[in-house]
Structure formats: C-alpha cells, structure tokens
Amino acid sequence: MIVEILAIGTELLLGQIVNSNATRIGERLADAGLDHFQQTVVGDNEARIVTAIDAACSRADALILTGGLGPTKDDLTREALAEAADVELIFDSEQADRLRERWTSSGRVMPESNLQQAERPLGSELIANPKGTAPGIRMQIADTWVFALPGVPAEMIPMLEDSVIPFLGGDDDSAVVSRLLRTWGESESAIGERLGDLYDTSTNPTIAFLASGGEIKIRITAKATSRDKAAALIAPFEATIRERLGKRIFGADDDTVEVVVLRMLEERDWTLGTAESATGGLVAGRITSVPGASRVFRGSVVSYSTEVKESLLDVSGDLIAEHGVVSEPVAVAMAEGARERLGADVVVSVTGSAGPEPQERPVGTVVVAVVTPDGSRVRTLNLPGDRERVRTFASTAALQLLRMSLQGVDWGSR
Amino acid sequence: MIVEILAIGTELLLGQIVNSNATRIGERLADAGLDHFQQTVVGDNEARIVTAIDAACSRADALILTGGLGPTKDDLTREALAEAADVELIFDSEQADRLRERWTSSGRVMPESNLQQAERPLGSELIANPKGTAPGIRMQIADTWVFALPGVPAEMIPMLEDSVIPFLGGDDDSAVVSRLLRTWGESESAIGERLGDLYDTSTNPTIAFLASGGEIKIRITAKATSRDKAAALIAPFEATIRERLGKRIFGADDDTVEVVVLRMLEERDWTLGTAESATGGLVAGRITSVPGASRVFRGSVVSYSTEVKESLLDVSGDLIAEHGVVSEPVAVAMAEGARERLGADVVVSVTGSAGPEPQERPVGTVVVAVVTPDGSRVRTLNLPGDRERVRTFASTAALQLLRMSLQGVDWGSR
C-alpha cells in the first residue's frame, strides 16, 4: 500500500504557513507501516489541483488531501475531486441538516454559503468531522482511494486517526512500531555520540534524533511481521539506551514533562503553584494543558512588574535592590512567597531577561527556583536565541528542574 | 518565470522534520514576484528523485532543490542530477582543495567520504556555500534552470539570497505584494459572503481567506511591475474591504491582537493585568510574547483553584456558592479583585469549563469579563471543540473582547 499526500492552499506556496499537516500525516503513516514516497503542494487553483490528483493517483494506492474544504469560494477540493473522477457534485441534504444543526446549537444562523460544505462528488462518502463544520470526503478515483481532509490541523488529525488510518489498515504482513524516548539536559550531538555505535550498526530497529523546545527525543523504529514482534525488537534496544542515558530520559511516548510532573505530585498528594516573571504564564499554561491538572495545580502569580513581586509574592524591596530581579535570591523569594500565597506544597519560579532588550542581565539569563517541602534549589541558566526561544526554553527548563527535584536527581552540570 | 521547489529527504516523509525550507523559499519567491505553483517532497531514493526532477522540469522554468548534498551515502542529489541530465559526474579538484582547506583550518582531518562533496554533474557550476561544506549546484536540464541547495536552513537561505534569487532576476521584472487583514467575531463563511463579489470579479488583486486560532484572516495579493505599483493596486481594494467589515478588522500584517491591545493601552497610559482560571496563564503568556509588554503589563493571577480565587482575588465565598465559579458575577469579581491586587488600570478575566470533564457548566462554556476605568463588561461564550481548542479560542476571545472594550466597540451578537 503506497500512500501520497497532496496539500492544497496558496498560503502554503506563499510561505505564509508551514505544511505541518504533511509532517503529521507522514509521521502517522510511518507508525502504521504504510509506505509513503511523495508529497505535493499546490495552490487554490482547480486545474492544478485536478492535475495533481491525477498524477498522484497514477502512482499511489491511496491519496490523502488536506485543505480546500472550507465554506468560501477559494475552497475548491470538492469541485476538483468531482472533475478528477469525472462525476457530478451532488447536494447531501443530510449533511446540510447537520450543518444547520451545528450552527443552531451554538445560537447562530448559518450563512447560506456554508451549504457548499454539504456538496460531495457522486459516489463519495462523507467523513465525520467531530471538531468542525467541514466534513471530509472518501472516494475511489480509478484504483486509488482518495481521502480529503480539512486543512485545520485540529480538525484534520482526529479524522486521520479515526477514519483514514483504520480504513487503510496498515500492511497486514508488516507492522512498524516506534518508541519515543524523551530526554533533557544534553545537546543533540552529545546524545548522538553516546548512541553513535547503535546508529551506525543497527538497521532494525533504527534510531533517529529530534530536537524541539529544548528537549532531544530519540525515536526507535522497528519493522516486523506483527506489532508484538516489532515491539520485541525494540525492548532490548531501549534497555541499552536507557542504561546509557539514565535520568536524562524523563518520559516515553506521550509522557511530556508536564504529564510526568503532575503524576509525581499527585502520587505524593502535593499541590503545585508557579511564580513567573520572564515566562509570563507559559509554565502555568503548559501545566494546565493537561486534563485533570486541577487535582494538583493551585494557580500562579505572574509577577511581571517589580511591584507585583513585592505586593503579591512578598519579595522584599531590599532584596530586589541588593540583588536585582534577575537573581537567585529573588527567584527563591518568589517561590517561597507564592508557596505561602497560593497555599501550594511545591512552587517553581522563573525570573529572567528574555529580550530583545536586556533587563539587568544579558538576554537569555534565566533563574529557576524550586521549593518543595524537602527544601529549595535554584539555578541560573544562559539560554541562546531570541525572545520566543528564550521563553520557550525557560519554561521547559523550569518544568525539567521541577521534575528532577521531585525525582531527587542532581541538577547536574547544566 | 515559473519556479518549483523539490525537497529531498526521507526525514521529511517520515514527519521527523517540517519542510520549513519550502516555506522560506516560497515566501522569498513571492517577494521577488516569481510565480510558484507546486512543491514536491521525495525521499533519499535516486530513481524517485530523478523522476521528480524530470516532472518538475517539464512544468517549470526553474527548479530549486533542497537536501541530499551531504557527505553520507544517503545523499543522492548529485547523482540524480547527473542522471536526469544524462551526463557524467566529474570530480572538481578545486572544490576538493577548498573542502580540505576548510577542515584543516578548523584543526581537523577530513574523512575521505567528504570528497563526494567535490563531485558535480558535467556542465554544471558550483554555488558557493559560505556557511557549510556542501556547495550548491547550478545547471540546465532541457530548458529548465536547476539549483540544488543544502537542506540545512542556515546554509540554504544565504545561498538562495546571494546566488539563486539574483540569477532568476525576479526583483527587476515584477513584484508580488500581500496584505493580511485580521478579523474576529464572524465566521469564515459570513466574511466570505460579505466579500464574495470581490472574490468573483477580481483577478489582480486576488483575495483568500484563512482561519486560525478563532480568527479569520483575509489575504489581498497583487502583482505589478514594482512593489509600489502592486501596493497601489491593493490600497483601494483594502479600503472597500475595510468599509464592509468595519471594526471586525482589528489589525493588518503583523498586528496581532496582543500587539494592538498593548499599543492602545500604552497610548492611554493604562496598565494591564489578567485573572485566569480556564486559560491557566495562556492570556498572560500571549501578552508577554510581545517585546516591550513590560511597559504595560503588570502581571496575572492564575486562580486555578477556588481557594486562590478567594485568597488572591478577593472573590467572596458567598458569591461563588450562589453562582458557581463559571459565572458572570464571579468573572467580574475576579477582574475587579485582580485590578486591585495587581494595581492595574485594566483587567481581563476568564473562567470556564475547558474539559474533558465538565466543571459546573458544559464543556466550552467560558465567561470573559473586562474591567477598565470606564466600567465593566462580561460575556458568556459557548466554544466548540476539545480542551486545547476551548483554551486557545477562550484566550483569543479574551484578548478580542478586551480590544473591543478599549475601542468602545459593542461586543455585538457573538
């Protein structure tokens, strides 16, 4: 089973957005053991979409399209599919009812133009879209199964998971299984060197390295005649990597650092708070992204101005005058103040200079403190990059140092 | 001049990295007024690279390849170019000297495998790479100019700027200019209906619609013999759209709602704070993403637990008992409490039920209050989608309702 991806949208050609849909779909196809050799992008031009569909159908057994299913006139995927298959577009009155119902239930009147989302090529079936109004379309063009999904990733991904991947069913005779190990605290090249011999000598499983948001992920991928057999190839390989990397590995697969931290706190029956300056609420935002965070998380004081550090976190003006706001004593005082004010057992605090203009200390200087019932720790970091990168890496560092404190792991040389 | 992009690399197909090179090149081609209708991605497979080169050359006047120029065995772009052009690969001894020199100057001995970076198809020219070891390649295949650049963005981008765009000579002949108008408060289809006739009748400029994060963006794109002339085509078109959409448009180009809100507050010399429950710090995080936010932003109280709403925001227990935490009276009390505690002139507050489990009210129920020196407003919203989407849309709604309050715009029927 060979699968291709065709992304539709002039905004992709103009470089206004990145084609992250192709990335997500490619990742998922690999996980499912489906072969995938080519991706194409074309703009909102019906003739070029039709040509691209024809070309892809001549090469592939299945084609996944993204984009062009919206309610406006530059959404041309429905028309292009009908033309490529040489069939009529028909009006699906059941879908029209579902669209009206969806609008009515949110107390609004549906504009008539939305009814184009009730059209589909004759002989096609609609794919349910639980997250939005645009249904997907499944149909055959010549011998190729074609799936059209919306361009909005939050809508596309569940439809891919629920309706496309299960339909394609993967290759019955082979399964590709991947295991993701998440690390923090060492560079990609240092991790690469520790595992270099495995990279060079192993063809099944293979390993790959992926850096994002300050973390290095290691992907182990094995192919075998069943998922169980592929998993059995991975197990000893994973054990070797874990032996070499130790506590640098903090989680596997979907265990983000937020999930890991909340789980450890809940096991101890400890509550959590944050006190944030440079990260401005990002750490709290990441923690509360996890469903059920309310069982552990009390809240945060984002003390962006110095006055709020004093009034809501009880950091003394003398301490600030002596050390500056980007300092280890102030970070500890912020955490201790937040612990008291929020009534939390554990607090992580962040203060720093995110740029573009330096604040007291050079841009990238970030101080993280963690206070738990067992004591407090504080560390000054020098993070590279611009404001966005410094803030992202600082929020990751805060969560990772919190995780290491809870695990009793030395904060080490970082 | 029609230009295509062909990105080479199995890691792109496996979804291990995003094809940001295509995004960057696409953006640059648009700036230069060069037409660009298609992008392709293939893996590290010589036969498929050759087929993709042939196909692109049949459609385009110029082809920009990225990737596959490294020193390892899976770097096949040189071989594929030679095969597509039906010429030999030759060894360039001057380039070999440059490679050895580069390694020697950094105090290292060059592995022999690097000498494959001194090979090039007969009849091609090398493109200097100031940032790395892999030179680019320029050659003609049939009537198409082909440029092969490295996959590493930091190496690719200067070569594109210095050697490819000037060669294609885009800037002199024509320019494409885009203008992005940002709207909030109406659906994509409703916006589409208001502008449907412009979409139907205008070919230069063109308009397109883009939905993301709860906002609808309208892109106006014009092509002319210079940037000034393209801008002059856009101006009356933009005026018409602004007349029709009025205050639904809150910004243009890089003016995100965060930027717009901070600018309006700074002009009035008003400070800002947030009080967040369901959004858990996301609103503060977005505000503080803007450089210079500290001139306006005091801080935030993220009152995730009910106790913190009482202790740090002075919301009375009786009010919570009577109305529940997801209610308009509590949202207003949170904003008023934060205004006092943070010493801010303006506060936006958010409370709600983000899911997956409903909290008091159905998932998606979100209450936003805005308190300014001029008074307070509050609104209950019903947002669709899962936890992540509800939180994102809620933070957008909070910022937009804040913006409308500052502009004195009615919160309308949304």
A355-367 pLDDT tens trace: 888 888 999 999 9
CA A304 to chain CA centroid, nearest Å: 27
Give the range of the structural domain holding residue B377, as residue numbers without chain letter.
257-407
Residues A321 and A194 in one domain: no
Pick the range with the lowest mean pLDDT from A199-213, A235-249, B224-238, B337-351. Answer: A199-213
Residues B228 and B89 in one domain: no
DSSP 8-state code for residue A294: G
* Per-position b or e across A7-39, b if 16+ CB within 10 A of its CB: bbbbbbbbbbebbbbbbbbbbbbbbbbbbbbbb
- Does residue A233 sit within a domain? yes
DSSP line for B313-361: H---HHHHHHH-SSSHHHHHHHHHHHHHHHT-SEEEEEEE--SSS-BSB
> CA–CA separation, A249 vs A216, rounded Å?
9
Q: What percent of chain A has pLDDT over 70?
A: 97
In chain B, what residues touch A272 (CB-CB under 8 Å)?
Answer: none
Query: Which one of A168, A192, A209 terminates a domain?
Result: A168
Residues A370 and A267 in one domain: yes
Note which residues in 79-118 of chain A have CB less than 8 A from chain B: 106-108, 110-114
Q: Looking at residue A210, which CATH number applies to its domain?
A: 3.30.70.2860
Residues B87 and B211 in one domain: no
A109-167 pLDDT tens trace: 888 888 999 999 999 999 999 888 889 999 999 999 999 999 999 899 999 999 999 89
How many separate domains does chain A show?
3
Q: Is the pLDDT of residue B413 over 80?
A: no
Q: Encoding tokens for residue B372?
A: 């300014």
- Does residue A414 sit within a domain? no
Q: Looking at residue B80, which CATH number applies to its domain?
A: 3.40.980.10
Note which residues in 317-346 of chain A have CB less than 8 A from chain B: 341-343
Query: Which one of A111, A135, A168 terminates a domain?
Result: A168
Q: Please give the residue of chain B at the shortest CA–CA distance from A293.
A: B304
- Does residue A413 sit within a domain? no
- Does residue B305 sit within a domain? yes
Give pLDDT, residue A172.
Answer: 59
Residues A90 and A125 in one domain: yes
Q: Please give the residue of chain A at the shortest CA–CA distance from B382.
A: A106
Residues B261 and B240 in one domain: no
The length of chain A is 414
At B227, the pLDDT band (50, 70, 90 cuts) reads: confident
- Does residue A212 sit within a domain? yes
Residues A402 and A262 in one domain: yes
Which residue reads 């991975």 in tokens?
A234
Pick the range with the lowest mean pLDDT from A403-412, B25-34, B128-137, B405-414. Answer: B405-414
Pick among B304, B366, B379, B391 to test the A interface (most A CBs inside 10 A): B304
For residue B389, which of B346, B343, B356, B340 has the smallest C-alpha distance?
B356
What is the residue-averaged pLDDT of chain B? 92
Which residue reads 């085509």 in tokens?
B233
Residues B208 and B92 in one domain: no
Of A12, A131, A291, the CB nearest to B356: A291
Q: Are A283 and A257 in contact (CB under 8 A)?
A: no
Query: Which one of B207, B223, B252 terminates a domain?
Result: B252
Pick the range with the lowest mean pLDDT from A166-170, A172-176, A188-192, A235-239. Answer: A172-176
Q: Is the pLDDT of residue B213 over 60?
A: yes
* Per-position b or e across B214-242, b if 16+ CB within 10 A of its CB: bbbbbbbbbbbeebeebeebbeebbeebe
DSSP 8-state code for residue B405: H
- Does residue B412 sit within a domain? no
| Phi, psi (rounded to 5 degrees) for A178 | -115, 145
DSSP line for B122-189: TT-EEE--TTSS--EEEEEETTEEEEEE-SSHHHHHHHIIIIIHHHHTHHHH-EEEEEEEEE-SS-HH
Phi-psi region of B405 (alpha: psi -120 to 50; beta: other; left: phi over 0): alpha
Q: What percent of chain B has pLDDT over 70?
A: 98
Tell the burial category of A324 from Cβ atoms under 10 Å away from its Cβ (0-12, 13-18, 19+): middle
Distance from CA of B326 to the nearest CA of A (A): 15
Q: Is the pLDDT of residue A414 over 70?
A: no
**Stretch A77-106: mean pLDDT, rounded?**
93
- Does residue A412 sit within a domain? no
Q: Are B12 and B46 in contact (CB under 8 A)?
A: no
Torsion angle in degrees (nearest 10) through CA of A223, A229, A235, A238: 0
A314-347 pLDDT tens trace: 999 999 999 999 999 999 999 999 999 999 999 9
Q: Return all residues near B406 (Cβ < 8 A) that are at least 6 apart.
A: B261, B264, B265, B268, B346, B372
Of A70, A113, A305, the CB nearest to B193: A113
Q: Encoding tokens for residue A126?
A: 């609609």
Q: Is the pLDDT of residue B199 over 90?
A: no
One-letter amino acid identity for B290? V
Residues A308 and A247 in one domain: no
Q: Tell me whether residues B37 and A38 touch, CB distance under 8 A.
A: no
At A200, the pLDDT band (50, 70, 90 cuts) reads: confident
> CA–CA separation, B16 vs A189, rounded Å?
17
- Return the SS3 of A34: coil
Q: Is the pLDDT of residue B379 over 90?
A: yes
CB–CB contacts below 8 A, A to B: 296
> CA–CA separation, B382 vs B362, rounded Å?
9
Counting other chains too, the contacts that A378-381 makes at CB distance below 8 Å and 24 or more residues apart are A378/A328, A378/A331, A378/A332, A379/A328, A379/A411, A379/A414, A380/A328, A381/A352, A381/A414
**Stretch A216-226: mean pLDDT, rounded?**
85
| Phi, psi (rounded to 5 degrees) for B305 | -95, 155
Of B209, B221, B294, the CB nearest to A72: B209
Q: In what order do the strands lie in the sheet with B215-224?
A: B206-212, B215-224, B175-183, B249-252
Q: Is the pLDDT higher at B293 or at A383?
A: B293
- Would strands B346-352 and B272-276 be described as parallel, antiparallel, or unpaired? parallel
Residues B41 and B153 in one domain: yes
At B106, the pLDDT band (50, 70, 90 cuts) reads: low
Residues B183 and B211 in one domain: yes
Pick among A287, A300, A334 to test the B interface (most B CBs inside 10 A): A300
ipTM over 0.85: no
B210 touching A, CB under 8 A? yes
CA distances from A75 to A4, A57, A135, A269, B120 (A): 21, 21, 13, 51, 43
At A255, the pLDDT band (50, 70, 90 cuts) reads: very high
- Does residue B125 sit within a domain? yes
Q: Looking at residue A312, which CATH number applies to its domain?
A: 3.90.950.20
Residues A268 and A302 in one domain: yes
In chain A, what residues touch B200 (CB-CB under 8 Å)?
Answer: 73
Give pLDDT, residue B173.
Answer: 63
For residue A78, which of A41, A126, A131, A39 has the smallest C-alpha distance?
A126
